[in-house]
Amino acid sequence: MKTVLIAQVPVDVKIDPSFRNITRFISRFPASSREAPPASIRIEIAKRSKRLVEISHQHRKLNIAGPDIDNLSDPFNMIGIAQALFRFVGVHAARRGILLFHASAAFWGKKVFCFGDDGASTAKTLSSVECALTSRHYLADEFCFFDLSSNRVFGYPFVPLHIRPIVKEHLVANHGMRLPPTDFKEGRAGYFQESGKMFRTTPSGKLGALVFVHFGKEKERIRPLHTKEKRAAIARLILAHPLKLFYPQLDRMQFVNTSDSIKKTVYDVRLLSSFTKKLLLADKIDALARNVPAYKFYISSPCQVKKLLSRLST
């Protein structure tokens, strides 16, 4: 058993001794200090004949299990364990004013831009990589934490980028990129790439804006979100991860079934509302909507992301 800090939350973690790769992965999170309060939540990662992700009734314990899950070169194992870990901790971090965004983030100038999911937007990873191709400065893919008290986004650069096949095809065809060698195997869900091999990485930075990218045939443009629209987008941004923990059928890439889909997730408005109340997030959503700029980018090509970011900077 060891206690680590994830999103400033102390977590007791127990791992099957035979899972050496998972043990090394968990060891990259900072150890909890003696001055920190004792952990009130626990994660157990066990070896069993069947895969499972199971949260306790009181939401204080998370069980992750499977027969072959220590092979972290397999994208289903890597993303499945990272998803379960961050989503579980995110539920508890939210009570401290630290919110888990369903977003990917890169630096543009001195600030961080988070490319998020508003329920209809796409290409979070691709948009963040397009941003970093100019800035050469990356923060995190898929799992970004936001501290309301400091207006800072932070993540864990050692959690790799999830490069789906369509992202790789774009980078090769339009940017002539040769992706660095990787130990992660490539499969139907794509593969992973260490962001530090592609860009300079920094674990935190001031939030510049939230960006929701929408693809279409119209001319590229930026549209600032009005308050009501912004609140709805932010609700989806911070509820997507915990919803998928409690309702795994909403997830595109599923650890338990080792299945992947390109189908978009459709969220029931009533479910979003009930989870906002359950996780006591209404005030935090309102605070974000008041204080953080948010935009929709309408584009027909991923390369236009940089063009629109340049307009925001002028």
> What is the number of residues in the chain?
314
Angle of helix 165-175 relative to helix 124-135, nearest 10 degrees, comes to 30
pLDDT means per 10 residues, the chain with 314 residues, are 94 97 96 83 97 93 96 89 96 94 96 92 91 96 96 94 88 89 80 91 96 91 93 92 87 79 66 77 90 95 94 78
Q: How far apart are CA 135 and CA 107, in angstroms?
A: 6
3-state secondary structure of 286: helix
Q: Give the residue ranges of DSSP H helices in 99-213.
A: 124-135, 165-175
Q: Give the residue ranges of DSSP H helices in the chain.
A: 20-26, 75-93, 124-135, 165-175, 227-246, 269-278, 282-291, 304-313
Residue 192 is predicted with a pLDDT of 87
Inter-residue contact 161 to 195 (CB < 8 Å):
yes
Inter-residue contact 59 to 231 (CB < 8 Å):
no
Inter-residue contact 215 to 122 (CB < 8 Å):
yes
**Phi, psi (rounded to 5 degrees) for 206:** -70, 135
Residue 198 is predicted with a pLDDT of 93
Residue 262 is predicted with a pLDDT of 61
Q: How far apart are CA 56 and CA 54, in angstroms?
A: 7
Residue 25 is predicted with a pLDDT of 96
pTM listed for this prediction = 0.93
Residue 76 is predicted with a pLDDT of 85
